[in-house]
Structure 1
Amino acid sequence: MADLTYPLYPIFAFLGFFLSLVPLPWHLQAWNSGTCYFMMWSSLACLNQFINSVVWHGNALNPSPIWCEISIRILMGASVGIPAASLCINRRLYCIASVQSVSISPAEKRREVLIDTLICVLFPILYIALQVIVQGHRFNILEDLGCQPALYNTLLTYFISYMWPILIGLISVVYCVLSLRSFIKRRVQFSQFLSSNKSLTAGRYFRLMALAMTEILLTIPLASFVIWLNTVGSPIGPWVSWADTHFHFFRIEQIPAVLWRTNPQFVLGVEISRWSSPLCAFVFFGFFGFAAEAQKNYKLAFWFVVKPFGFKPPQKQQPNAFVSIG
């Protein structure tokens, strides 16, 4: 069965990988750790999906088991890493809106970065580790899609795997509401803080808020819809025991497209899941890709790529110098 999304999907996935990563340097300079983690997870997810969609186009072979072990963990990590990064953005916006002083010390910045790292890195790692409890075998390989986690559809899976994006999104909603409330109450202090902070402008603050709110509006409905698809697509079985779940654990199921595409609910679920990564990347680009800092980085990246081929950026014309005599 032909993949109607090829080559459109790998093109969008690669563009998502590139476009969301280029603005990273100036966000690092501004200590925007939540935004940086959002870019990193979105870019990594897009790159992973790009490789899978190209390598496994038209086949369900198993040329690289090690890559699949890495790939499925990137998929699982990104499913909570991106919402977690959005949570950190909302949390930072709330801290800015409710700030008591007009300046933040370096120690406070380092503490905020550490907290964001725990939420955006340590939590996804812990989440990935917990998936082995409901992982029935090593992984599946689906023709045209590539490596996929093999999670049993049990009630325990919903608590260990599926509920976390929704829960993180709901916490983000709370921070978002608190940010708006604090902003309305403390507009004078907020303006003073922005005027003393060179790395954050009012436009960038509201773009961050729009990005976080958009991610919330995408994450909660999509995650809820995927849960509904899993409940109606196949029966929910009992989690009997560790030994029962992991019986013959090291097997790898290779499924041709003609088989997995016969289940409409499953097709809809996997397509929603894999298109969400480029969507997050393009949403980020839509809010930050046209800013002056981003345009500067795009130009630098473009000339860096074409420079080995003999192309050079145009030189700025210097104004004529007039020398007065006498």
Structure 2
Amino acid sequence: MEKSKVYYTSFRTTFQENLPQKLKRLIKTAGMLEQIDFQNKYAAIKIHFGELGNLSFLRPNYAKVVVDLVKDQGGKPFLTDCNTLYVGSRKNALDHLETAYENGFSPFSTGCHVLIADGLKGTDELLVPIDGEYIKEAKIGRAVMDADIFISLNHFKGHESTGFGGALKNIGMGCGSRAGKMEMHNSGKPHVIESLCIGCRACYKNCAHSAITFEERIAYINHNRCVGCGRCIGVCPVDAVESDFDEANDILNYKIAEYTQAVLKDRPHFHISLVMDVSPYCDCHAENDIPIIPDVGMFASFDPVALDVACADAANKQPVMAGSILEKHGSHHHDHFKDTHPDTNWKSSVEHAVKIGLGNSEYELITI
């Protein structure tokens, strides 16, 4: 198979070219405007608006670059995401829109409207048959599937379940309706290590399914109610919650790849990833920790798989940031994301994506 082209530029600027201008040049050089006909077409630009309190999400200025390029070509762009499975500031369309606006993603700052793809309560979905190994019928937010063209604008960062969050995570998990997210998460159920639990109730406050109870200040998880979203794992301050199954995170990655296939098939698509503010956790958290590595640069490709691999390879060449979680954990696997979250395996998502024909793990990096 011929290597996929991934285009890259650093965050270095000059007096003649700032970062938005450099991103514009990257996108144009990568061929998005030449290879996709935007005239009178609806273009979904999938982005993460960031949980309230999180400050590592992409600035809306970057979204405006993509929006303006699409509009210049006669297209009709909109920014979009789907509601979350967990309790937070983006669990329904009203809260989600308020969060997006508060974080700067308004029509006035970005030049286009924001549509929450799966509707008011996360139930406005389209069933997309794919007959995959793990998913037979993906549940995707309707507005995403109604678009003629799909563009992903990704903040590349660490993730407690998938190793990192890049293009595949932003597309597959991000475009799933609430029921779709539940389907992707339900392969493994977490449990509480009683000797570590301090009874802080952070897990209880963040469980959207009333699956957590307390006995003598120790948390217990009812697996009949638990959907396996892993939110309790992420919010526990003492790592007292862990997954029951070693294979759960791999299966989650496989399902994300198949959901990504459902989103992208049979229509033009393009992908942009910014490797900056590489926080150890997802932007779904209501906080962001010290980045685990320095900022790397901006990447773009028609192949989301090659894009993720190129970003991971570039990130793994970076030094560890002093004072970060990664420095605390130490280097054992020669992989910054595996070292940050030892129970994850980001390569499983890539391998399955290649297996199902979603993209290519071999890439040619073109620096501009």
Whichever structure has more strand as a proportion of its residues is 2
Q: Indicate the structure (1 or 2) with the bigger Cα radius of gyration.
A: 1
TM range (shorter): under 0.3
Q: Report which structure shows greater RCO (CA 8 Å, sep ≥6).
A: 1
Whichever structure has more helix as a proportion of its residues is 1
